[in-house]
Amino acid sequence: MALLLTLLKVAIAIAIAMASGWLFRAALVAITRGETRKMLRTAPVSAGFGMLVVFVYVFVAVFAHVIAPFSEREIVGAQFLPWDSTHLLGTDNLGRDMFSRLIYAARNTVGIAFATTALAFIAGSFLGLLAATVGGWLDQVLSRVVDVLMAIPALVFALLLLTIFGTSVVKMVIVIATIDATRVFRLARSVAMNIVVMDYIEAAKLRGEGLFRLIIREILPNAMAPLVAEFGLRFCFVFLMISALSFLGLGIQPPTADWGSMVRDNASLITFGNITPLLPAGAIALLTVAVNFVVDWSLHRASGLKE
């Protein structure tokens, strides 16, 4: 009987998620025009649900100071208070409001992950396209350096560098962006290698196009589709790495709210059957799944495959 009830709850949750995704997709179709509207109309329900979740997270991150009833660092009561009307999710190990910190963590964790991914993509894409366009010794040097960096497990490498250089947010962003830029470099170079041999690239060279203009005006637009899809995947990996580093104590440092550190600080509650530590973990998982839904749709569109 308990198994049937669990399955029923799961089925209801899936049905609600699908209905929400369909409604959000319909709303987007209604307010958009042209090619965007046509594109959204063909989007699967899973992509609609993913876009809805991403929209909610961004909204919460932007308006965290309005939504949260307390400050992220304010001690508002005793340790580990239960859920009630004042503290919707109780308090943490220091007496701070868990609901408020969960909301502020959306701004901190997602914002830092997005900035890190953007930095990794700017560096990795530029170097990858440059290596493919120039070729020769520059391509060989950059590729071998990337091979060396990629040979080291990413999490172990990040832990080592952060232990050496410190755990400030700026250093963490630079370290993770450097590690992740190697993956972006590989993709950008691979895509660009198939583009630089095209006739219109040779025609652009004969017209006297400069190197950077050739990359930005001719190669980048034709490599944009797989790079945009890869951006979503890289964001998920960066987001999970930041959360893992915070859980291990080398990521976003207290008292700044972060989902990874919130799981670590309140993990003892699980022993008493309290699910509060699972909420930040669930927030991490939900955003990861949602972004992957959108990325899967983007990859399908970029591949040119038809349903």
Q: What pLDDT shows up at residue 76?
A: 87
pLDDT surpasses 60 at 304:
no
Domain of residue 186 covers: 106-303
Hey, CA dihedral for 171, 114, 193, 126, is it positive or negative? negative
Evaluate whether residue 184 is within a structural domain.
Answer: yes
Residues 258 and 123 in one domain: yes
pLDDT surpasses 50 at 306:
no
Q: What pLDDT shows up at residue 1?
A: 66
pLDDT surpasses 60 at 307:
no
CA-nearest of 115, 28, 108, 116 to 60 is 108
Residues 294/51, Cβ–Cβ less than 8 Å: yes
- pLDDT tens for 53-90 read 999 999 999 998 899 998 888 888 888 888 888 888 88
Residues 169 and 25 in one domain: no
Residues 37 and 118 in one domain: no
As for how many domains the chain has, the answer is 2
Q: What pLDDT shows up at residue 181?
A: 92
Residues 20 and 146 in one domain: no
C-alpha pair distances (Å), 188 with each of 29, 133, 178: 32, 11, 15
Q: What pLDDT shows up at residue 53?
A: 93
Evaluate whether residue 146 is within a structural domain.
Answer: yes
Evaluate whether residue 242 is within a structural domain.
Answer: yes
Evaluate whether residue 24 is within a structural domain.
Answer: yes
What is the average per-residue pLDDT within 197-226? 81
More confident residue, 224 or 180: 180
Residues 37 and 115 in one domain: no
pLDDT surpasses 90 at 2:
no
pLDDT surpasses 80 at 17:
yes
Residues 158 and 240 in one domain: yes
CA-nearest of 278, 270, 255 to 70 is 255
Residues 185 and 277 in one domain: yes
Return the percentage of the chain with pLDDT > 70, whole number.
97
Residues 38 and 111 in one domain: no
Residues 36 and 119 in one domain: no
Residues 141 and 34 in one domain: no
Domain of residue 166, CATH code: 1.10.3720.10
Evaluate whether residue 64 is within a structural domain.
Answer: no
| Cis status of the peptide bond prior to 255, with omega within 30 of 0 | yes
pLDDT surpasses 70 at 121:
yes
